[in-house]
Amino acid sequence: MSEAQRVLLVTGGSRGIGAAVCRLGAKAGYRVVVNYTANKAAADALVAEIKAAGGDAFAVKGDVGSEADILAMFESVDRTYGRLDAFVNNAGIVDAKARVDEMSVARLERMMRINVVGSILCAREAVKRMSTRHGGKGGAIVNISSAAAVLGAPDNYVDYAASKGAIDTFTVGLAREVAAEGVRVNAVRPGIIDTDIHASGGQPDRVALIQDTLPMKRAGTADEVAAAVLYLLSDAASYTTGAILNVSGGR
């Protein structure tokens, strides 16, 4: 099947890495579903951009911290395109810089609900549509992890790092679970990427402050991460599953 017939769903697709994946996926010919939580204007603008370039896309609101929203999002894909071939588990949060001995249970529960439970539930719904066990025709899933999963993020956000460590383990386990059912599952571990996630965590100048300490002396771009994601979704990676690809500039 040509990529022009395939459907790609990206959670957290209205900004940053997610938006870059949506753009590159559309250029590759995928019909793109842009999930967003709150910024409808950004999602609609991205859909309009994709359509203006000759692509096919639509936006769907949904908080991956809510199972009801996740189910509604996937049902919207079913109604609109009737299939799902590629899924990117990108939506996630980071919180304010803090030590573990300063973290509240509310912060920890929110972090794990969105970054871990939400990602697993989204993958569950993707597998239900892709797996030959469920009557699907196969597909590919890419989870967005983080270099923090192996670095631990001390004195910043160990809880976020732990949530991404869970994503790494989940990637390997799910990949082996569905490997014989036509579904490939891989992950990308971005390092310091120049997006607004740092501002959302209360450190808008983080990239500028630390880029000289990075092996390549610069932050990565969302497009560089997106290129790795699109490779793992593509037929060029047809024998790759359970892999975790570092896009971290050597960090």
Please tell me the distance from the alpha carbon of residue 100 to that of residue 91, in angstroms, as a whole number. 23
- Phi and psi angles of residue 106, each rounded to the nearest 5 degrees, phi first: -65, -40
Report the run of H or E that residue 218 belongs to, with start and end: none
Of the candidates 36, 160, 231, 239, the residue annotated as catalytic is 160
Report the run of H or E that residue 212 belongs to, with start and end: none
Residues sharing a CB contact under 8 Å with residue 11, sequence separation 6 or more, in sequence order = 18, 35, 62, 64, 73, 88, 89, 90, 91, 122
Determine whether 33 is exposed, middle or buried from the number of CB atoms within 10 Å of its CB (0-12, 13-18, 19+).
buried
The widest CA-to-CA distance across the chain, in whole angstroms, is 52
160 is annotated as an active-site residue: yes
- Phi and psi angles of residue 36, each rounded to the nearest 5 degrees, phi first: -145, 160
Contact by Cβ (8 Å): 165, 149: yes
The residue type at 106:
A
State the pairing for strand pair 86-89/7-10. Answer: parallel
DSSP strands (E only) in the chain: 7-10, 31-36, 57-61, 86-89, 139-144, 183-190, 244-247
Active site residues: 160
